[in-house]
Amino acid sequence: MVSEFERHLLLVRQPGWQDVEDWLTIARRVRMTDPSIAVFVVDSSVLAEDLIEAAATKPTLVVSPGPLGVTQPRRGRVLRGRPIAKLQQLHMLATAKVPVPRTALLRPETQLDAATWGQWVVEKPADLTQSSQGKGFRLLQPGEVRYRPQDDFPAGHPGRLAPMLIQRFIDTGSPISSWRVLMFLGRPLYSQLMVGPPPNPDDPPQVAMQALSGGTRRFAYDADVIAAATAAAGAFVDVPLLGVDVLREAGTGRVYVLEVNPGGNTWHFSSDHLKVERAENGPDFERQRREQLDAFGTAAHALADAARRLAE
């Protein structure tokens, strides 16, 4: 039967990051969308020589949200997720004309001008593994920013692992808010708005990563946010899965992309990373995650289109 297909699609999943049933469901929908495409699903941790050899008999596209692991494709273009340093992400976004906050590496000679940076800036870690929960974030006025050698940070602080960054603070209003748009092959699978709890009016502004805990989450569609996330995906065409974080500035209405999380562990339909939160959310909320933008159907159409264009 394989010889009857015109092109092949090899999907590499990362156990614990995506449930195999998700990919099998999407694979079936790819076949319904385009019967000329054969789909092979393999695990990055399991050597599947027979499937890899079979996939290589026709023009092939390989799609892997995260690392390939032991999978070594014999043929075809490979789209895969991988860690990309925050400053490099922002450079790639800015080069693609995607709006991003002004950001710089904190150096010994760093001096910030409020006229350029605004009233507040965020000090944050450059280390990718330490910043997802807001660890090491501080909101400062530009004149308060001081460089510290890595050895001067206390034990456990992310500043000991990598340099710190300074970023212009994007004030999203009160309460603070942030968007996560999951992009797959250039198409949005869901768009989630996170709103923090009402702050104490006497407190200074808050950093999104630290202030959203205890707030509310819902799936919502904002055309400007979707457009920014789609433009961001265009700057990372060889990375199939992106968790794009977007802020809307309260005073101007402008949207800014903070980062794209290209490593691959953002498939929160079934990732172990969000397992506890999904249970707390309940089945209705998680149904909305899948149904808001027909996530699996959209993924299937995106894969079929990519296979037709890119299989080789």
Q: Identify the pLDDT of residue 205.
A: 72
The token pair that represents 142 in the structure block: 């530009």
Q: Measured between alpha carbons, how far is 132 from 150 in angstroms, rounded to an integer?
A: 20
Q: Identify the pLDDT of residue 130.
A: 58
pTM for this model (two decimals): 0.94
Question: Phi and psi for 181 in degrees, rounded to 5?
Answer: -115, 120
Partners of residue 80 on adjacent β-strands: 64
- pLDDT, averaged per 10 consecutive residues of the chain (312 residues), comes to 80 98 98 97 96 95 98 97 96 98 95 94 83 75 92 87 92 92 98 90 67 84 98 98 97 97 98 96 98 98 98 97
Partners of residue 195 on adjacent β-strands: 177, 216
Euclidean distance between the first and final Cα of the chain, in Å? 20
Sign of torsion, CA 223 224 230 234?
positive
